Amino acid sequence: MPAHYDALETRAPAEREAALLAALPAHVRHAQTHSAAYADLLAGVSPEAICSRSALAQLPLLRKSELLARQQASRAAGGDPFGGFSTIGWLGLRQAATARRVYQSPGPIYEPEGLAPDYWRVARALVAAGFEPGELVHNCFSYHLTPGAWMMESGAQALGCTVIPGGVGNTEQQLAALADLRPSAYTGTPSFLRILVEKAEQAGQKLSISKALVSGEAFPPSLRDWLQERGIAAYQCYATADAGVIAYETAARQGLVLDEQVLLEIVRPGTAEPVPEGEVGEVVVTVFNPDYPLLRFGTGDLSAILLGPCPSGRSNARIKGWLGRADQTTKIKGMFVHPGQVAEVLRRHPELHKGRLVVSGQMADDQMLLRAELRPGFAAASADLAEALAHSLREVTKLRGQVELLDPGTLPNDGKVIEDARRYD
């Protein structure tokens, strides 16, 4: 079994960083030239100037909600169903290059698939999970409208594997195929793998599966260990329909290693501002895909950079895995309060570093408390600052709340900007 997919995984971190940053200007220029949406979003931006992480951080951040809104507006006007983000399409959709398939994700959001082999870069994650060329893979992602099944299938085929298009459901048929064909590997959600194992055990059937790459939902250590006890070594990858594989687990089981074609930022929820390494925030990716050139795409997921090298020998940065959702929008006294509003309140007071809005009380008796950390070097909290902060909170959210000023490092490093601590019993 190959230790790594290719030599890119073990190159010096400085070499990788230089290569990614060197590719940025051409990628920005391509997006501006071939994507109507980015021609608008990046109007006035000089591609040659986007050659560093600090310059990249000045570009607008595209969140999934905005991508959906642009697609919906374009479709309502009878225009591009991709909202102008795709550079490929089909006859009648202005693009000269042809898409292989088009998918529908919840929203609905539509995503194109280009002609490149292993379009979503899954083969690298399969190798890290122990898959080998020539193996038979039972693929149990849905083949209906969404791209998950095709993501895994294209990666497996790029690796040289044979694929059973199992899909989801029809458990008895799936077990019959597993018994007759005896695949060694599984791709799909971890929960469906557990269902197959449990059903097989009930039927007295011994599954031939010994390895798995799972995705699409949380994969807790308890389930990982449960599968391992039954002879299945399962690893996870973090992927989205828009960006493809972002990071993947290795045999070291210490975080998820970033894909080689992803430039990752972790930003404070509700803002576009990168956080210090190790701090939890929203995962933002720039993916070097000319067919769907997403720049600073906010996934809406929380994670953090895991410091130090991976014991597997892969030299890319690692993230801690999925740590929750960044969109913590909460309804308080009948009004929605967004993480971006909390960020705006803090932005008005340079003495503050970060904050958390805690909502407590019982139904119909909501109470707000903004707990805000002072920046290092600032003097102890003053009554004037607390009063000014309470005024800003009321002005931005249109709701009254209390304020608590804290020393640096007091708040937990969990990415929460709004904490709903209300009682609903």
Pair of tokens at residue 151: 């993501």
From the number of C-beta atoms within 10 Å of its C-beta (0-12, 13-18, 19+), residue 186 rates as buried
What pLDDT is attached to residue 95? 63
Indicate the fold that domain 330-420 takes in CATH. Answer: GMP Synthetase; Chain A, domain 3 (3.30.300)
Beta bridge partners of 109: 105
- The HSE-up count of residue 134 (CA atoms within 13 Å, CB side) is 2
Interatomic CA distance for residues 283 and 326, integer angstroms:
9
What pLDDT is attached to residue 380? 58
What pLDDT is attached to residue 58? 96
What pLDDT is attached to residue 66? 92
Measure the CA dihedral 96/100/104/109, to 10°: -30
Spans of the chain, pLDDT less than 50: none
Interatomic CA distance for residues 198 and 383, integer angstroms:
61
SS3 content of the chain, % helix, strand, coil (to 5): 30, 25, 45
What pLDDT is attached to residue 152? 98
What pLDDT is attached to residue 331? 77
What's the predicted TM-score (pTM) here?
0.85
What pLDDT is attached to residue 424? 55
What pLDDT is attached to residue 136? 98
Radius of gyration, alpha carbons of the chain: 23
Q: State the Cα angle at 315 between 56 and 281, rounded to 5°.
A: 45
Q: Is residue 142 within 8 Å of 99, Cβ to Cβ?
A: no
